[in-house]
């Protein structure tokens, strides 16, 4: 079974620039999550999709972050403009449905200089 | 929303000892409690999970216990080995279907 695919693996940008991350979940998984993990902390949910609808985006900084899940499969997360405090690992995860175990991608390590 | 507290933040044990990590949650509607292990530079991976209709679950050297009344659950690792060294995260979800993670416990097993 193929896992959750994420790209890019690493990204270095300067503040005020924009960046986009891509995620391809496990086939058939209805629920897709984007988490932000700052070094030394637990993953913090940014947005959760159920198929192509948003379940929760209460912790997504909507003035600079946006996300979409086209056709209920792939998803992209965008930051525009980036700030220094956005430096983190961005993890995509998927699950068969809500309240099921999460399968994580390898993450994108973002450094904002 | 759900709030998950995890303790301790760091746990150091000798090989062969047992390790216990504890988490508390705030939302009484939560009914799914997974534990994830994250090795350095790698993605979190599920090691064990429990649902609220069960009080305890065991898988070889790993066990999880759940006390719904007190709203806490614990991870128990027996006969620890150096390869158990990692960061362990608890999580809770249910009422809102949104998985909320604890801050993590760095487990160090000394040979």
Give residue B59's pLDDT band: very low, low, confident or very high (50, 70, 90). Answer: very high
The residue ranking higher by pLDDT, A13 or A98, is: A13
Q: Please check the confidence at residue A1 and state whether its pLDDT lies above 70.
A: no
CA dihedral A9, A12, A18, A20 (to 10 degrees): 0
Give residue B96's pLDDT band: very low, low, confident or very high (50, 70, 90). Answer: confident
Residue pLDDT, tens place only, A58-73: 999 999 999 999 888 9
Distance between CA B56 and CA B54 in Å, rounded?
Answer: 6
CA of B23 vs chain A CAs: smallest distance (Å): 13
pLDDT value at residue A74: 95
pLDDT value at residue B17: 97
**Residues paired with residue B66 on neighbouring β-strands, in sequence order:** B73
Helices (H), A18-68: none
Distance between CA A28 and CA B73 in Å, rounded?
Answer: 30
Q: What is the mean pLDDT of residues A47-52?
A: 92
Q: Please check the confidence at residue B75 and state whether its pLDDT lies above 60.
A: yes
**Residues paired with residue A36 on neighbouring β-strands, in sequence order:** A44, A90
Contacts with B46 from chain A: Cβ below 8 Å: 101-103
Coil, strand, or helix at residue A38? Answer: coil
Q: From chain B, which residues contact A within 8 Å (Cβ)? A: 1, 6, 31-32, 34, 36, 42-46, 49, 89, 93-94, 96-104
Distance between CA A103 and CA A33 in Å, rounded?
Answer: 10
Distance between CA B20 and CA A55 in Å, rounded?
Answer: 33
Distance between CA A92 and CA B77 in Å, rounded?
Answer: 28
A3 Cβ neighbours under 8 A, 6+ residues apart: A26, A103, A105
Of B42, B94, B99, the CB nearest to A102: B99
pLDDT value at residue A79: 98
First to last CA, chain A: 37
pLDDT value at residue B53: 86
Q: Please check the confidence at residue B38 and state whether its pLDDT lies above 80.
A: yes
Cis, bond preceding A63 (omega within 30 deg of 0): no
CA of B101 vs chain A CAs: smallest distance (Å): 6
| SS3 labels along A83-100 | CHHHCEEEEEEEECCCCC
Residue pLDDT, tens place only, A3-21: 999 999 999 999 999 999 9
Q: What is the mean pLDDT of residues B59-67?
A: 97
Q: Please check the confidence at residue B65 and state whether its pLDDT lies above 90.
A: yes
Q: What is the mean pLDDT of residues B34-55?
A: 93
């Amino acid at each position: 079974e193929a896992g959750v695919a994420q790209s890019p693996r690493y990204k270095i940008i300067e503040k005020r620039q924009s960046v986009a991350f891509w995620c391809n979940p496990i086939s058939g998984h209805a629920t897709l999550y984007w988490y932000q993990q700052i070094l030394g902390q637990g993953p913090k949910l940014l947005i959760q999709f159920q198929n192509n609808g948003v379940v929760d985006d209460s912790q997504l900084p909507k003035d600079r972050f946006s996300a979409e899940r086209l056709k209920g499969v792939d998803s992209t997360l965008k930051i525009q403009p980036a700030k220094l405090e956005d430096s983190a690992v961005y993890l995509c995860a998927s699950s068969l449905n809500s309240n099921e175990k999460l399968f994580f991608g390898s993450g994108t390590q973002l450094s904002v200089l | 929303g759900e709030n998950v507290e995890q303790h301790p933040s760091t746990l150091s044990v000798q090989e062969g000892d047992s390790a216990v990590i504890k988490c508390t949650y705030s939302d009484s509607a939560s009914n799914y409690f997974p534990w994830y292990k994250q090795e350095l530079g790698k993605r979190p991976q599920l090691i064990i999970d429990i649902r609220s209709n069960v009080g305890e679950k065991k898988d070889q050297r790993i066990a999880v216990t759940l006390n719904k009344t007190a709203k806490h659950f614990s991870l128990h690792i027996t006969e620890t080995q150096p390869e158990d060294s990692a960061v362990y995260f608890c999580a809770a979800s249910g009422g809102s279907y949104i998985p909320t993670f604890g801050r993590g416990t760095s487990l160090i097993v000394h040979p």
